[in-house]
């Protein structure tokens, strides 16, 4: 899977706002080149919620285990919920110890920093994880949409 394939898949889901920070848009430089997905039917950046998924293209301070400093490397990060986390990792998010070493490629793992918050990650998704990544993104989107509907009092 490429970054663009992931972005196209998520963009096709209803109510998604995709942010791709870059020079001149007022965003912090550290986020340039990364992608952030929000459920936002009105197209505005939600002020009180985190994205339901991200694509990162570089190492962040304290998050170097995926070795994203290599050419072409990226990691998709997904807030797919407790049930998905338990299914993929085998323990509750709160039981997971983050920062436990390098992250394998094309493998669904607990996020190296935010695993204890229930985030999953795949570095350089490929043939082994393409379908899982799509399923996890769809589930994260469903959960984000449900949260939005609860907060706004909407139904559907």
- For residues 101-111, average pLDDT: 85
- Distance (Å, whole) CA 22 – CA 88: 33
Overall size of the chain counted in residues: 156
pLDDT tens for residues 141-151?
999 999 989 98
Tens digit of each residue's pLDDT (9 = 90 or more) over 70-93: 999 999 999 999 999 999 999 999
Is residue 152 predicted with pLDDT exceeding 90? no
Backbone φ and ψ for 117, nearest 5 degrees, come out as -100, 5
pTM for the full model? 0.92
Tokens of 84: 């998905």
Report the SS3 class of residue 2.
coil
Q: Which residues contact 92 (CB under 8 A, 6 or more apart)?
A: 82, 85, 86
| Coil/strand/helix, residue 121 | strand
């Amino acid at each position: 899977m490429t970054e663009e394939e992931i972005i196209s898949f998520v963009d096709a889901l209803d109510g998604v706002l995709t942010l791709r920070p870059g020079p001149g848009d007022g965003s912090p430089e550290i986020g340039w080149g990364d992608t952030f997905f929000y459920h936002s039917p009105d197209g505005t950046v939600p002020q009180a919620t985190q994205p339901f998924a991200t694509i990162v293209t570089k190492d962040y301070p304290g998050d170097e285990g995926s070795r994203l400093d290599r050419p072409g490397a990226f990691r998709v990060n997904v807030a797919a919920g407790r049930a998905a986390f338990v299914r993929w990792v085998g323990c509750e998010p709160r039981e997971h110890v983050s920062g436990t070493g390098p992250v394998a490629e094309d493998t669904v793992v607990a996020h190296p920093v935010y695993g204890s918050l229930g985030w999953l990650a795949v570095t350089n998704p490929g043939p082994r994880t393409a379908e899982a990544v799509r399923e996890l993104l769809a589930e994260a989107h469903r959960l984000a949409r449900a949260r939005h509907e609860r907060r706004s009092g909407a139904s559907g």
